[in-house]
């Protein structure tokens, strides 16, 4: 479906000629995000530069009942920024200013297109950092992080995006501008930032975000330990937790993931069955005392090689292999699926055994990378698209792993989001009344179902008390939504 | 009328029935904070959660616990301590305050600086809506972004969106050692400067508060937790800033003393505005005022004065002030331009206004 020329003219008058794309060759760039097996070409892309422009664009969408999808850097891995057929994409990359840095109060105000790592770059001379650190942090945007409630290796200790967002300026799906939360804590009323962060673009478009920043700890030390198996490494993780430690990060990789990382970035990892990276931070005396204890726990659980990074360069190299793990798998397989599931950490040995069994049964290799401290698994299912049937077998295997996560009391996503990819499996994790209750939130924010309407839920709920005259919603006509 | 259901299904039946008959439902459990918020706009059925008091699962190796809403915080912490763990929040009157009550009122104490508030600790809830829908959201794992974060929405909602019947929390290890350091901090101006300096210094304290009162200079308290070696080195660093001495852990109970006063408010300001706020309080010349302010900017104040005036001043600076006692016309203050959205949420969850009508911000 194409937008009529009057609407295009109106959008052009809002964002200017260089802020609107409608030619097919330009629109192709926006047909997918980091999950490339779903592609939809939007009807138009606008690149606003101000909140007022976002508001004006959304007002047009509201008036014309055009669905819109907000997009940051497009690095998302669940298809959250996948365009809607007939809809428009609001790209926020040009709203990339850091508006305010308030060091005494440890707050930073940014526009949504600001790159995650640029926040830390701006404040690190003063000894602060922005804690959420998804592996894509050098390219992903804060607005996208807000949509997905992004995590990262260090959220074990420091929390997720939602822990670090105090307030938001948001354009609601009818074009109203509202302020959620406050730069001070416990603002009167409902925790609207709490519900907005992680809503995957379905509740409106954030145009300004107030972040909490963190003072860098006095000392950071990273330990790398090689085990014969992920089971041994998992037992060491249990030992660390039982000892009452809260490391800044605990990461695990299996042998296939190690091989991939070695091939790609030469991190000089030992060739072992299970590798742990553990980072401790805090006061130097505390870190040194705990590091000694950590060494004992790892050796007690079968670690046959332990290294502690001696220089900042060595520490960066330890992390480089881990952060590059997803991309590295391209070195050992032509195609692969990055999956994201969560299990109670103690279920790890069982789940690893079961993943190995499923992998064997499907005849496909699975490389495993985990945020082991919080039970967040990233199985990478390897396949070759050129071999008939392998792609669908790989998809099936990756969903079997998610069902395994649900069975163990876990979640279908720890940080990548539901998006387009996992919306149908939501009904395996939650019962109808649970999903229906969540959709009441969407009805309060977006009764017209305009803001990223086809994502997250298996079937969008059309809101009964929709103001105005009844007219069938385009999604209802298309059979993808129903009225409650 | 009073009802004491034994499980979520009974809560659902009672709610559906009351909602159908147009009766208001006023949830309670320990009854420690019934005077917080506005008085209910109409009388109705008091629904006590006291019988839902079981700890359902302490998955200590996963550092999580699932507990029913009527369990007291003291009973919960006692059970967790058997495995050397805690829910890292210090609430008011833990012997009587319940899990559901502290969640609904969003209570938090001195540990908040290091561990966040309940919104950062709750990972799953079961919520019963006014129409009897039993909705589960979140889960039992610490990291989970599947669907909307209803546990956060219900936290601090004063029971106006639904009744929490059980919750799952992430836990933290109990500290092996703790140390309290205290210092008379001179004037409020020097105390403010010292507070910001300590917060900037990359220390690893768990709590930092200022105690202030009429006719006395401010005192600063710092709580350290960790290994003995780590704490000793922290303490010596801290003593490099000012001559702190080891103090009594009893001073961490100051908030509870103040919260029990007959004129009491909770305020929230930017950390850099704490000094100005205390100076404004002093200008009311109440001979008996007392306050305790955490480094987060959240403070507790016992003051006999026109609190609305103080509220306006704090709101102009981006802060807020909640009047806890005595009851007045508006306990909450200005919720800002998102009030319409909050009302829309209320309409979606509780269209007939059955749950705690009028008690919340903006008359919700």
Interfacial B residues in 250-279 facing A (CB < 8 Å): 266, 268-272
Residue A325 CB neighbours (<10 A): 25
Q: Which residues of B touch A197 (CB under 8 A)?
A: 149
Residue B227 confidence (pLDDT) = 84
Helix H or strand E encompassing B122:
strand B122-128
Hey, is the C-beta of A178 within 8 angstroms of any chain B C-beta?
A: yes
ipTM over the 0.85 cut-off: yes
Q: For residues A286 and B227, is the Cβ–Cβ distance under 8 A?
A: yes
Q: For residues A14 and A57, is the Cβ–Cβ distance under 8 A?
A: yes
> Which of B28, B41, B19 has its CA nearest to residue B363?
B41
Residue A25 CB neighbours (<10 A): 7
Residue A480 confidence (pLDDT) = 63
Hey, is the C-beta of A17 within 8 angstroms of any chain B C-beta?
A: no
Q: Which residues of A touch B344 (CB under 8 A)?
A: 444-445
Q: B321-334 b/e with 16+ CB inside 10 Å = b?
A: bbbbbeeeeebbbb
What are the backbone angles phi and psi of residue A420, rounded to the nearest 5°? -85, -40
Contact B133 A433 (CB under 8 A): yes
β partners of residue B246: B181
d(CA A232, CA A235): 5
> Which of A119, A133, A132 has its CA nearest to residue A162?
A132
Burial classification of residue A436, based on how many CB atoms lie within 10 Å of its CB (0-12 exposed, 13-18 middle, 19 or more buried) = middle
What DSSP line would sit under B40-81, residue for residue? PSS-EEEEE-TT---EEEEEGGGTEEEEETTSBHHHHHHHHH
What are the backbone angles phi and psi of residue B126, rounded to the nearest 5°? -110, 125
Residue B215 confidence (pLDDT) = 87
Of A178, A238, A342, the CB nearest to B341: A178
> Which of A457, A16, A385 has its CA nearest to residue A202?
A457
Of B133, B147, B270, the CB nearest to A418: B147
d(CA B299, CA B278): 10
Q: Which residues of A touch B232 (CB under 8 A)?
A: 285
> Which of A102, A85, A82 has its CA nearest to residue A35?
A82
Contact A183 B318 (CB under 8 A): yes
Interfacial B residues in 85-104 facing A (CB < 8 Å): none
Q: For residues B137 and B124, is the Cβ–Cβ distance under 8 A?
A: yes
d(CA A367, CA A258): 9
> Which of A141, A146, A133, A129 has its CA nearest to residue A180?
A146
Residue numbers in chain A where pLDDT is lower than 50: 467-469
Contact A344 B140 (CB under 8 A): yes
Kindly give the confidence (pLDDT) of every residue in chain B, 364 residues in length, as a single tens digit, with 9 standing for 90 and above.
899 999 999 999 999 999 999 999 999 989 999 999 999 999 999 999 999 999 999 999 999 999 999 999 999 999 999 999 999 999 999 999 999 999 999 999 999 999 999 999 999 999 999 999 999 999 999 999 999 999 999 999 999 999 999 999 999 999 989 999 999 999 999 999 999 999 999 899 999 999 999 989 999 999 999 888 889 999 999 999 999 999 999 999 999 999 999 999 999 999 999 999 999 999 999 999 999 999 999 999 999 998 999 999 999 999 999 999 988 889 999 999 999 999 999 999 999 999 999 999 999 9
Q: For residues B30 and B96, is the Cβ–Cβ distance under 8 A?
A: yes
CA distance to partner chain B, nearest, from residue A447 (Å): 10
Looking from the CA of A155 toward its CB, the CA atoms found within 13 Å total 25
Hey, is the C-beta of A306 within 8 angstroms of any chain B C-beta?
A: no
Helix H or strand E encompassing B20:
helix B8-21
Interfacial A residues in 91-110 facing B (CB < 8 Å): 103-106
Q: Which residues of A touch B270 (CB under 8 A)?
A: 105, 183-184
d(CA A20, CA A4): 14
Residue A468 confidence (pLDDT) = 47
Long-range contacts, A287-292 (Cβ 8 Å, 24+): A287/A219, A287/A220, A287/A221, A287/B230, A288/A219, A288/A221, A288/B229, A289/B227, A289/B229, A289/B230, A290/A245, A290/B227, A291/A221, A291/A223
CA distance to partner chain B, nearest, from residue A210 (Å): 13
CA distance to partner chain A, nearest, from residue B76 (Å): 19
Residue A467 confidence (pLDDT) = 46
Hey, is the C-beta of B172 within 8 angstroms of any chain A C-beta?
A: yes
Residues in contact with B227: Cβ distance below 8 Å, sequence separation at least 6, in sequence order? A285, A286, A289, A290, B176, B177
Hey, is the C-beta of A218 within 8 angstroms of any chain B C-beta?
A: yes
Q: For residues A180 and A168, is the Cβ–Cβ distance under 8 A?
A: yes
Of B64, B230, B268, the CB nearest to A185: B268
* A vs B: CB pairs below 8 A: 274
Q: Which residues of B touch A128 (CB under 8 A)?
A: none
Helix (H, G, I), strand (E, B) or coil at B222: strand
Of A186, A409, A433, the CB nearest to B135: A433
Contact B146 A244 (CB under 8 A): no
pLDDT tens digits, residue range B311-354?
999 999 999 999 999 888 899 999 999 999 999 999 999 999 99
Of A184, A375, A430, the CB nearest to B141: A375
Q: Is A238 left (phi over 0), alpha (psi -120 to 50) or beta?
A: alpha
pLDDT tens digits, residue range B91-143?
999 999 999 999 999 999 999 999 999 999 999 999 999 999 999 999 999 99
Q: Which residues of A touch B348 (CB under 8 A)?
A: 440-441, 443-444, 463
Residue B327 confidence (pLDDT) = 84
3-state helix vs strand vs coil in chain A, percent to 5: 40, 20, 40
Q: For residues B54 and B67, is the Cβ–Cβ distance under 8 A?
A: yes
What DSSP line would sit under A52-70, residue for residue? HHHHHHHHHHHHHT--EEE
Residues in contact with A59: Cβ distance below 8 Å, sequence separation at least 6, in sequence order? A174, A175
Length of chain A: 484
Contact B230 A104 (CB under 8 A): no
Q: A235-244 b/e with 16+ CB inside 10 Å = b?
A: bbbbbbbeeb
What are the backbone angles phi and psi of residue A175, rounded to the nearest 5°? 95, -5
Residue B329 confidence (pLDDT) = 80
Hey, is the C-beta of B239 within 8 angstroms of any chain A C-beta?
A: no
Of B141, B153, B336, the CB nearest to A344: B141
Hey, is the C-beta of A444 within 8 angstroms of any chain B C-beta?
A: yes
d(CA B352, CA B204): 48
Hey, is the C-beta of B227 within 8 angstroms of any chain A C-beta?
A: yes
pLDDT tens digits, residue range A105-145?
999 999 999 999 999 999 999 999 999 999 899 999 999 99
- Interface with A, mutate which of B118, B142, B323 (most A CBs under 10 A): B142
Q: For residues B49 and B27, is the Cβ–Cβ distance under 8 A?
A: yes
Burial classification of residue B236, based on how many CB atoms lie within 10 Å of its CB (0-12 exposed, 13-18 middle, 19 or more buried) = exposed
CA distance to partner chain B, nearest, from residue A464 (Å): 10
CA distance to partner chain B, nearest, from residue A351 (Å): 15
Hey, is the C-beta of B127 within 8 angstroms of any chain A C-beta?
A: yes
Residue B364 CB neighbours (<10 A): 26
Looking from the CA of A60 toward its CB, the CA atoms found within 13 Å total 23
Looking from the CA of B68 toward its CB, the CA atoms found within 13 Å total 17
CA distance to partner chain A, nearest, from residue B361 (Å): 5
d(CA A364, CA A384): 9
Q: Which residues of B touch A464 (CB under 8 A)?
A: none
Interfacial B residues in 35-54 facing A (CB < 8 Å): none
Hey, is the C-beta of A159 within 8 angstroms of any chain B C-beta?
A: yes
CA distance to partner chain A, nearest, from residue B3 (Å): 25
Contact A178 B227 (CB under 8 A): no
d(CA A370, CA A376): 6
> Which of B117, B196, B71 has its CA nearest to residue A159?
B117
């Amino acid at each position: 479906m194409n937008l009529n020329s009057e609407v295009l003219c109106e959008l052009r008058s809002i964002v200017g000629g260089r802020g609107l794309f409608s030619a097919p060759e330009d629109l192709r760039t926006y047909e997918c995000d980091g999950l490339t097996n779903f592609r939809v070409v939007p009807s138009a892309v606008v690149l606003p530069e101000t909140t007022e422009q976002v508001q004006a664009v959304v007002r047009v969408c509201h008036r014309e009942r055009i669905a819109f999808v907000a997009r940051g850097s497009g690095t998302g891995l669940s298809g959250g920024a996948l365009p809607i057929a007939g809809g428009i994409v609001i790209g926020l990359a040009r709203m990339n200013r850091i508006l305010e840095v308030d060091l005494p109060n440890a707050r930073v105000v940014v526009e949504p297109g600001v790159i995650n790592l640029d926040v830390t770059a701006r404040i690190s001379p003063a000894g602060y950092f922005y804690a959420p650190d998804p592996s894509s942090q050098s390219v992903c945007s804060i607005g996208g992080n807000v949509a997905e409630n992004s995590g990262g290796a260090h959220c074990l200790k420091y929390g997720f995006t939602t822990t670090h967002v105090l307030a938001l300026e948001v354009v609601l799906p009818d074009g109203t501008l509202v302020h959620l939360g406050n730069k001070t804590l416990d603002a009167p009323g409902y925790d609207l930032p709490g519900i907005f962060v992680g809503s995957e673009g379905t509740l409106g478009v954030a145009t300004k975000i107030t972040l909490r920043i963190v003072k860098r700890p006095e000392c950071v030390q990273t330990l790398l330990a090689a085990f014969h198996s992920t089971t041994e490494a998992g037992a060491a993780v249990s030992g660390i937790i039982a000892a009452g430690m809260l490391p800044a990060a605990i990461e695990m990789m299996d042998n296939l993931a190690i091989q991939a990382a070695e091939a790609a970035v030469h991190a000089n990892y030992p060739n072992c069955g299970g590798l742990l990276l553990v980072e401790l931070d805090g006061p130097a005396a505390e870190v040194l005392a705990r590091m000694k204890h950590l060494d004992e726990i790892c050796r007690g659980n079968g670690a046959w090689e332990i290294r502690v990074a001696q220089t900042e360069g060595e520490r960066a190299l330890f992390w480089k292999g881990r952060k590059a793990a997803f991309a590295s798998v391209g070195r050992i397989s032509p195609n692969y699926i990055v999956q994201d599931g969560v299990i109670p950490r103690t279920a790890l040995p069982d789940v690893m055994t079961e993943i190995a069994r499923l992998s064997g049964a499907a005849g496909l290799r699975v490389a495993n990378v985990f945020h082991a401290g919080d039970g967040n698994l990233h199985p990478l299912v390897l396949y070759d698209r050129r071999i008939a049937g392998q792609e669908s077998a790989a998809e099936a295997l990756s969903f079997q792993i998610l069902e395994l996560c649900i069975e163990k009391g876990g979640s279908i996503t720890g940080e990548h989001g539901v998006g387009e990819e996992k919306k149908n499996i939501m009904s395996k994790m939650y019962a109808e009344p649970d999903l229906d209750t969540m959709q009441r939130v969407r009805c309060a924010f977006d009764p017209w179902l305009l803001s990223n309407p086809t994502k997250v839920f298996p079937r969008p709920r059309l809101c009964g008390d929709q103001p105005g005259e009844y007219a069938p919603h385009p999604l209802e006509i298309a059979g993808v939504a129903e009225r409650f | 009328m009073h009802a004491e259901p034994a499980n979520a299904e009974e809560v659902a039946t009672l709610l559906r029935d009351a909602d159908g008959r147009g009766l208001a439902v006023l949830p309670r459990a320990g009854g420690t904070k019934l005077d917080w918020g506005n008085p209910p706009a109409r009388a109705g059925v008091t629904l006590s959660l006291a019988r839902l008091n079981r700890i359902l699962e302490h998955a200590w190796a996963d550092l999580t616990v699932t507990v029913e809403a009527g369990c007291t915080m003291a009973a919960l912490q006692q059970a967790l301590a058997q495995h050397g763990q805690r829910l890292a929040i210090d609430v008011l009157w833990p012997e009587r305050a319940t899990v559901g009550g502290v969640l609904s009122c969003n209570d938090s104490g001195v540990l908040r600086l290091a561990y966040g508030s309940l919104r950062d600790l709750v990972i799953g809830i079961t919520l019963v809506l006014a129409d009897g829908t039993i909705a589960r959201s979140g889960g039992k794992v610490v990291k989970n972004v599947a669907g909307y974060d209803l546990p956060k929405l219900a936290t601090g909602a004063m029971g106006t969106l639904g009744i929490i019947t059980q919750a799952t929390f992430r836990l933290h290890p109990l500290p092996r050692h703790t140390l309290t350091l205290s210092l008379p901090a001179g004037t409020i101006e020097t105390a403010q400067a010292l507070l910001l300096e300590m917060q900037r210094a990359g220390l690893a304290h768990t709590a930092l508060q200022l105690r202030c009162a009429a006719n006395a200079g401010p005192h600063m308290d710092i709580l350290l937790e960790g290994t003995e070696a780590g704490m000793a080195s922290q303490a010596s660093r801290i003593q490099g800033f000012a001559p702190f001495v080891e103090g009594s852990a009893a001073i961490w109970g100051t908030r509870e003393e103040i919260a029990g006063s007959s004129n009491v408010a909770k305020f929230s300001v930017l950390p850099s505005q704490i000094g100005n706020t205390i100076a404004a309080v002093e200008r009311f010349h109440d001979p008996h005022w007392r306050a305790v302010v955490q480094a987060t900017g959240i403070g507790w104040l016992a003051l006999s004065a026109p609190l609305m005036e103080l509220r306006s001043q704090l709101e102009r600076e981006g802060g807020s002030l909640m009047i806890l006692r005595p009851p007045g016309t508006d306990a909450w203050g200005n919720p800002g331009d998102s009030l319409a959205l909050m009302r829309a949420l209320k309409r979606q969850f509780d269209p007939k206004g059955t749950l705690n009508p009028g008690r919340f911000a903006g008359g919700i």
